[in-house]
Structure 1
C-alpha cells in the first residue's frame, strides 16, 4: 500500500488547526510524598494480541520512559517476561508499535515528594502508523479501538444503540505527531477531548494514570501493507458485520455533540434526513496528483448514462478531503448509489456507504488492480454488502507520469538514466514490498485521462448487482443468525421397553431445545469396546446392539456441527 501523498501526507500544510483542542485541558499537579503502588493485568496470548490494563502507570518526560511502581503488594496477571510487552498499534510486528515499561520503587529518593499530573479518568493508549492517511486511521486504529472499548468500557445507552459510555474515558494517542485532518474519527470514541503524545512532554513533571489500558487489537483488520512481503489481504478476514457495526454507529453519532461542550448544531443533519435523500453518484476527487484529467467528461457520461430509481439522471457530486469534512463525506456517501475514485486512502470511506452501493476503483496505467486490493478486500468482506469493480487504464497515451517530481511522488530523475528507461518501459509494476519502490511510485502517481464509457459500463454492471441485494441495517434489522454450539451432554436417561432385547443399549439425552442449537449428528463413544458409533438423527436418542445381557455399558456423547465435533460430555452408564 502506498503512503498516500495526496491524501494529506506530503505537500500540504496540515497542522490540524481545525481540530478541537482545549489549551486548558491540563490536569493540575498533585504532590505525592510516595507514589501509589501499581498493578498490571494483561489479556492476550502474544505481543500482537496482548492488551494490558494498569493501575498507576507513569511516564517521566525527562527520560521519556514509562514505568510502574512495584511493591510487595503489586499484582501481576498474565504479564509476559521479556520485552516488548505489547504493541500500541495493529500492524503486526512493526517496530514502531513496540512498547514496554520499566519497574521502579516508589521509595526511590528521586520519586519521593514529587509533583505529578495524576490522571484519574481512564485512558486508552495507542499509537498511529500514518497520522494523515484516513485508511490507516480507520483500518488500523479506529475500528479496532471501537471493539476494544466494547470490551473494557461499560455503560452506554440502549435507546441510541450506544455499546459503551462515552463520558468516562479518554483516548491518548501516544506518538510524536500532532492532530491532522484525518484525526476527526478518533473523537467519536469519547466525549472527552483526544490527547496526544505532546501532552506527556509539555513539561518535566511526571504523568501518572490511575487506570490505563495500553494497546490495540486487530479484531477488524483485513489487510497487510507489504512491509515484509507484497501487500495483500490477511489470511484470516473479519466478518463485514464487525466493520458495519462501527460504520453505522458513526452515522448515528453524526448530529450528536462530539465532546461534552460542543454545540450539536455544528454537526450535520440527522440519520433520518440522510436516509430520505435522493440517490447520487459520488466521485472521490484528488487535488495534487493521481488526478482524473477529464473530470467533466466523466461527470457528463455518468449523469447521462446512469439513471436513478425514479428514472431520472442521478446527480454527480465531487467529494475531496480538501473541500469536505469527515462528516460531510459520510453524508454524501450514505446517499451514493455509485462511488468512483482513483486508488487512494479516501476510498476507505466507502465503509460508510449503504449496502448495495457500488465502489468503482480506478487504477493508473501499469498498475495491476489485482495486486493492490485494500478496498476490494473491504468491499468483498462477508456481509459488507458493497459491490466492487476495478477499472485499469490500458492506454499509455492517456497517462501523464511525473518523472521530475520528488521520489515519493513518483519522480525518477534521481535514478541512473538506464534505470529510468527500464522503469518507463516496464508494462506492469512488479511485485514489491512497501514503501519506496520506484516502479510503483512512478506509475501510481500518474495522472489519467479516463475513458468514461468503459467506466460507465462497469458502473452499470455493479449497480444492477447491487439492486439485487437486500438492504438491511445492522442496527435496526434482526441480527444475522449464527451457529449455536449444542449443550454439553450430561443428562442421559437409560431406556427400557417391551421391544428392547437383553444386551441392547437404549438411551436418550437432554439437549435444551430452547437454546436454538442444531446438531448434524451425534457421536457415541463406548468405553467397554472403545468404539465410536454415530446416531444420524435429529432425535437425541440411540439404540446399540451387541452387548452381553446384564453388562454395565459406560459411554459418552458429543454433537457434530458443520463437521466439527463439540466437546465430549461426561461418562454415563446403563445396565443392558
Structure 2
C-alpha cells in the first residue's frame, strides 16, 4: 500500500511538474509573442520615422525659421464651410492634442478673424459641411515660448491634414474622403504623389485603409501615431481641410437626407477619379482589340450580403435574371472578396443589382450605359434615400437607374430582438414598438438613430421577381450599347457675336423690334446636334421679361412691342437643349 501510495505521490508530483513546465512554456510563449509584437511595432515606427526623415531637412535652419518667422497662414474661401488653409510651420502638441500657431514679428494670418475664428471654427476638417465634430482651430503662443517647450520634431513632407468621416463605411470612404482628397490634391501643385496624408479624427486604420494608401506614395499618418514621433510636431508646409466640390449628398443632420442643393461635380470628374484608382490597382477595363466572343460576353453582377439586409431568394432571383436577359451572372461580396477584385468585376458589368447599402457606391466604376438596380426593404421609400440614384444621374455618368421596393410585408423578415444599431426595437416601450410595427412607410427623419428607419432598413427581403423584372425590362432592353457608349459632350457655347437691334414704328400703337446676331466663335469647330438661341426682352423700368427660344439668328418681334419705348434685350446660345452659353452684353433698343 505504501509503495502504491508513493507511486501515486510521484505521479502527482510529476503531473504537477508537467503542468508547471507547460504553464511556464505557455507563459514564455505569450511573453515571446508580446515581445515580437512590440518589436514589430517598433520596427514599423522606425520605418515610418526613417521615411519621415528621407526628405532631408536642416534641423537648425528649420528651428531658426520657426523661432524667427513663426507660423504663417493663408486661406481660400469666405466661410469655414468652404475654407482650405495653407500653413508654414503649423505645429501639433501631442500632449495637449492641439494645433499651435506660433506668433513672431514675421507671422501672418489671413484671414485674421480675431474671435470670429471660433464662431464656430476656422474651417471644416472633413468634407461633411458644418458638422460640429469636424471643426478645426488652433491655440496661439508667442514664438518665445518655444524655449520652454519640448524640442520640436519637423515633418519635411508637404502634408494634407484632414479628418476621415467614417472610414469603416464604403460610401463615406469614397464620397466624404477619397474623392475630396483626390481633387484637393489636384487643386494645389505641391500636393503631389510625394505629399503625405495626416488623419486627425482619431480612428484606427479601418477596413479600407488600403484605398487611402493609393492616393500617395507615402504611408498616411494617424493621429495616434503622432505621439510616437515627439511631443511637439511641426509641419514645415501643410494644407488643412478638404474641398467639398465633389460631394453630391447630405446625410440629414439638419434636414432629411437628400442630394446637395448645389451639386458642383459631374460624372466626368467622378470617372476621372475612378480611372485613376483603377490604374493604381492595375485594373484594365475591357476595350481595344477584343474578340467577337468577348464583345458579346455581357454579364450582370449581384452584390451578395451575408450578415444583414439579405436577399432571401437570391438564387431564384439570379436564375430569373439569367433567363430574362440571357447574360451570365457574377456574385460579389464585401465579406468574401477584396475590394480591388470587386472593382475589376463591376468595371465590365452591364447591370449591377444590390440591396440599398454602402456597397452601391461601387457603381461609380460601372461602364457607361450600365444599369444600376437598387432594392429597398419593406416600408422604405426609395425617393427618400437617393445617394446612388443621385450618383447615377450626374451628367456624364451615363448610367441608368432603377429602384425596386418591396411592397409585401409578408416578404420581409425583421429582427426586433437585435441591438438597436442593427434594427432592434425591443428596448423601446410597447407603444412605440406597436407604432413601428403598424407603420407602412418610414417617415422622413434626421440622421442617424431613428429606430423605425433602422428597424426597416435591416430587414431581410424575399424579392418579388415578376415585379422586379417588370421594372427592369423597359430600361434594360433600350439601354445603349456598352461598347458604343461615349462620354456625353459637355462643351458649352460661347457668347453670340455682334448682337444688334433695329426698330421701326408703324403706327401710334404698333412697332417692331428686330434682333440679330452671329454664331458663337466655338460653334464652327464643333459638331452639335441641335443649336437654338434664347432671347429675353424686358421693357425698361419693368421687373418681368419675355423669353423666346428661336432656331435662327435673327427675328422680328411685334407682339407686345410698344412705340417710343426702350427695351433691354439679352441673347444667348443653347446646345442640345440644356448646354447654356453666357448672355451677350445687353442691348438697349428704342422703338
Match of 1:85 in 2: 122
- Show CA shifts across 1:44-88 (max 9, x none): 121111111111111010111112222222233345442211101
Who wins on radius of gyration, i.e. which is larger? Answer: 2
CA contact (8 A) 2:369 2:479 kept: yes
Alignment of 1:351-370 (within 5 A): 351-370=364-383
Equivalents in 1 of 2:97, 2:465: separation in Å? Answer: 54
Change over 3 Å in CA distance of 1:441–1:57 after alignment to 2? same
User: How big is the shift at 1:136?
Assistant: 0.8
Change over 3 Å in CA distance of 1:45–1:274 after alignment to 2? farther
Q: 1:57 aligns with which of 85, 90, 94?
A: 90
Q: Does 1:347 align with 2:356?
A: no
CA contact (8 A) 1:34 1:111 kept: no
Change over 3 Å in CA distance of 1:283–1:197 after alignment to 2? same
Match of 1:74 in 2: 107
User: How big is the shift at 1:524?
Assistant: 13
Match of 1:229 in 2: 255
Q: Does 1:168 align with 2:194?
A: yes
Alignment of 1:312-351 (within 5 A): 314-351=327-364
Equivalents in 2 of 1:345, 1:485: separation in Å? Answer: 43
Equivalents in 1 of 2:101, 2:484: separation in Å? Answer: 51
Match of 2:274 in 1: 247
- Show CA shifts across 1:522-541 (max 9, x none): 9999xxxxxxxx9x9959xx
User: How big is the shift at 1:252?
Assistant: 2.7
Equivalents in 1 of 2:451, 2:391: separation in Å? Answer: 27
Q: Does 1:386 align with 2:391?
A: no
Q: Does 1:145 align with 2:181?
A: yes
CA contact (8 A) 1:365 1:395 kept: yes
User: How big is the shift at 1:435?
Assistant: 0.9
Q: State the secondary structure of the residue aligned to 2:456.
A: helix
Q: Does 1:400 align with 2:413?
A: yes
- Structure 2 runs not aligned, ≥5 long: 1-39, 501-515, 539-546, 555-562, 575-579
Q: Name which structure has the greater RCO, CA cutoff 8 Å, separation 6+.
A: 1
Equivalents in 2 of 1:451, 1:92: separation in Å? Answer: 39
Q: Does 1:295 align with 2:314?
A: yes
User: How big is the shift at 1:220?
Assistant: 1.7
User: How big is the shift at 1:197?
Assistant: 1.7
CA contact (8 A) 2:495 2:520 kept: no
Q: State the secondary structure of the residue aligned to 2:279.
A: helix
User: How big is the shift at 1:209?
Assistant: 1.1
Change over 3 Å in CA distance of 1:566–1:109 after alignment to 2? same
Alignment of 1:416-565 (within 5 A): 416-467=429-480, 471-472=484-485, 480-485=490-495, 513=521, 520=533, 560=572
Q: State the secondary structure of the residue aligned to 1:328.
A: helix
CA contact (8 A) 1:69 1:104 kept: yes
RMSD: 4.2
- Structure 1 runs not aligned, ≥5 long: 1-16, 155-164, 256-267, 308-313, 493-507, 526-533, 540-545, 548-555, 572-576
User: How big is the shift at 1:400?
Assistant: 0.7
Change over 3 Å in CA distance of 1:187–1:109 after alignment to 2? closer
CA contact (8 A) 2:274 2:364 kept: yes
Change over 3 Å in CA distance of 1:79–1:286 after alignment to 2? farther
Change over 3 Å in CA distance of 1:219–1:483 after alignment to 2? farther
Q: Which moved more, 1:268-277 or 1:358-367?
A: 268-277
Q: State the secondary structure of the residue aligned to 1:349.
A: helix
By percentage of residues, which structure has more helix? Answer: 2
Equivalents in 2 of 1:509, 1:412: separation in Å? Answer: 67
Change over 3 Å in CA distance of 1:453–1:33 after alignment to 2? same
What TM-score results when the alignment is normalised by the length of structure 2? 0.73
- Show CA shifts across 1:434-473 (max 9, x none): 1111111111101112223332333333322322688445
Q: State the secondary structure of the residue aligned to 1:24.
A: helix
Q: 2:210 aligns with which of 177, 180, 184?
A: 184
Equivalents in 2 of 1:109, 1:144: separation in Å? Answer: 35
User: How big is the shift at 1:89?
Assistant: 1.2
CA contact (8 A) 1:230 1:431 kept: yes
CA contact (8 A) 2:100 2:141 kept: yes
Change over 3 Å in CA distance of 1:202–1:473 after alignment to 2? farther
Q: Does 1:45 align with 2:78?
A: yes
User: How big is the shift at 1:188?
Assistant: 2.4
User: How big is the shift at 1:373?
Assistant: 1.0
Q: Does 1:25 align with 2:48?
A: yes
User: How big is the shift at 1:515?
Assistant: 8.9
Q: How many residues align?
A: 497
Q: State the secondary structure of the residue aligned to 1:331.
A: helix
What TM-score results when the alignment is normalised by the length of structure 1? 0.75
CA contact (8 A) 2:494 2:521 kept: no
Q: Which moved more, 1:399-408 or 1:276-285?
A: 276-285
CA contact (8 A) 1:363 1:393 kept: yes
Change over 3 Å in CA distance of 1:213–1:411 after alignment to 2? same
Equivalents in 1 of 2:365, 2:110: separation in Å? Answer: 39
Change over 3 Å in CA distance of 1:304–1:39 after alignment to 2? same
Change over 3 Å in CA distance of 1:350–1:23 after alignment to 2? farther
- Show CA shifts across 1:226-257 (max 9, x none): 111111111122322222221222223331xx
User: How big is the shift at 1:567?
Assistant: 7.7
CA contact (8 A) 1:68 1:103 kept: yes
User: How big is the shift at 1:424?
Assistant: 0.8
User: How big is the shift at 1:361?
Assistant: 0.6
CA contact (8 A) 2:301 2:330 kept: yes
Equivalents in 2 of 1:120, 1:153: separation in Å? Answer: 17
Equivalents in 2 of 1:514, 1:421: separation in Å? Answer: 64
Equivalents in 2 of 1:194, 1:206: separation in Å? Answer: 19
Q: Does 1:97 align with 2:138?
A: no
Change over 3 Å in CA distance of 1:510–1:400 after alignment to 2? closer
Match of 1:158 in 2: none
Equivalents in 2 of 1:519, 1:72: separation in Å? Answer: 60
Match of 2:385 in 1: 372
Q: State the secondary structure of the residue aligned to 2:117.
A: coil
Equivalents in 1 of 2:496, 2:130: separation in Å? Answer: 37
CA contact (8 A) 2:423 2:457 kept: yes
User: How big is the shift at 1:111?
Assistant: 5.1
User: How big is the shift at 1:560?
Assistant: 4.3
